[in-house]
Structure 1
Amino acid sequence: MGSTVETYPVAGMTCGHCASSVSAGLEAVPGVCQVDVDLPSGNVRVTSAEPLTTDLVRAAVEGAGFSLAD
Structure 2
Amino acid sequence: MTTTNFQVTGMHCGGCANTVRQQVEQVPGVRGLTVNPSTGTLTVDGEENLDTAAVLAAVGQAGYEAVRT
TM-score scaled by structure 1?
0.86
The 3-state SS of whatever aligns with 2:23 is helix
Runs of 4+, deviation exceeding 6 Å = none
Unaligned runs of 5+ in 1: none
The 3-state SS of whatever aligns with 1:30 is coil
Partners of 2:30 and 2:52 in 1: CA distance:
13
Identical residues among aligned pairs (%): 38
Q: Which has the greater radius of gyration?
A: 1
Instruction: Please tell me the root mean square deviation across aligned C-alpha atoms, in Å.
Output: 1.5
Check conservation: 2:27, 2:58, Cα contact below 8 A: yes
Unaligned runs of 5+ in 2: none
How many residues of Structure 1 are paired with residues of Structure 2 in the alignment? 68
**Pair 1:20-2:18 in alignment:** yes
Tell me the equivalent position of 2:40.
42
Partners of 1:54 and 1:48 in 2: CA distance:
10
The 3-state SS of whatever aligns with 2:31 is strand
